[in-house]
């Protein structure tokens, strides 16, 4: 299995991929940036589902939307995480694994991940990015480990500006031994690292 992992500060709606996956904490309005731009492009759909109580961000809520060519991705997947599990990373890990299995069943291997604000400090945000990246990759590895032509492409849309060099180093160390090819790119600086 090959992995192309990127970090980008480009707007979610401008990233080419099969799906945009957005982890949303409860009480994080869907009308805040960067989701406000997607809402605008989708004629206010996100605001309507939130206003009508169809979406609250409760733990376990999942909504799959077709983008109808309003953004570059084909699908939008909203995942409710409930309140920020600051002391219980297992909640985030469990949902990341569930999302990985869901994406794999949908045959989606090229996607963007965005974690909405509310995660806390920059260190916590970077830690959550690392947790999500590692567990998503491990979920796909379970099925595709021996498929040398399988490419998993994950772009992390980073709304905050965490220090990525230590994170990228830890990810390389953790993921290199399991993959045929690993590419990690910080699209803010175009730092490319291949293994």
The CATH number of residue 165's host domain is 3.40.220.10
Among 68, 148, 144, 159, which Cα is nearest to 112's?
A: 159
Structure-token pair, residue 119: 């995660």
pLDDT tens, residue by residue, 41-62: 999 999 999 999 898 888 889 9
Can you point out the beta strands (E) in 140-180?
Answer: 151-157
**Phi, psi torsion values for 23, nearest 5 degrees:** -85, 120
Containing domain of residue 38, as a range?
Answer: 2-194
Average pLDDT (92-114) is 92
Asked if the model's pLDDT at residue 194 lies above 60, the reply is no
- Averaged pLDDT for residues 86-114: 88
Structure tokens at 104: 């794999």
Q: How confident is the model at residue 165 (pLDDT cuts 50, 70, 90)?
A: confident
Domain total in the chain? 1
Task: Tell me what pLDDT residue 149 has.
Answer: 93
pLDDT for the residue 128: 83
Residue whose tokens read 């491990």: 138
Q: Tell me what pLDDT residue 195 has.
A: 42
Beta bridge partners of 156: 7, 113
pLDDT of residue 191: 45
CA angle (182, 169, 24) in 5-degree steps: 85
Per DSSP, 184 falls in state E
Task: Select from 8, 5, 6 the least CA-distant residue to 159.
Answer: 8
Query: Which pLDDT does position 87 carry in this prediction?
Result: 58
More confident residue, 30 or 37: 37
State what percent of residues in the chain have pLDDT above 70: 88
Percent of the chain as helix, strand, coil, to the nearest 5: 35, 25, 40
In Å, how far from its chain's centre is CA 71?
16
């Amino acid at each position: 299995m090959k992995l192309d992992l990127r970090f980008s500060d480009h707007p979610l709606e401008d990233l080419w991929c099969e799906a945009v996956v957005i982890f949303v904490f409860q009480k994080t309005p869907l009308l805040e940036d960067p989701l406000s731009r997607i809402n605008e492009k989708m004629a206010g759909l996100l605001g309507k589902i939130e206003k009508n109580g169809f979406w609250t961000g409760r733990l376990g809520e999942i909504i799959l939307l077709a983008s109808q060519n309003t953004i570059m991705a084909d699908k939008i997947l909203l995942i409710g995480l409930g309140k920020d599990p600051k002391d219980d990373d297992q909640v985030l890990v469990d949902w990341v694994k569930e999302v990985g299995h869901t994406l794999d069943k949908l045959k989606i291997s090229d996607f963007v991940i965005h974690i909405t604000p509310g995660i806390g400090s920059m260190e916590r945000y970077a830690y959550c990015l690392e947790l999500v990246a590692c567990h998503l990759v491990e979920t796909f590895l379970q099925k595709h480990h021996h498929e040398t032509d399988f490419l998993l492409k994950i772009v992390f849309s980073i709304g905050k500006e965490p220090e990525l060099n230590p994170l990228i180093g830890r990810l390389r160390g953790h993921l290199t031994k399991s993959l045929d090819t690993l590419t990690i790119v910080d699209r803010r600086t175009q730092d490319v690292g291949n293994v």
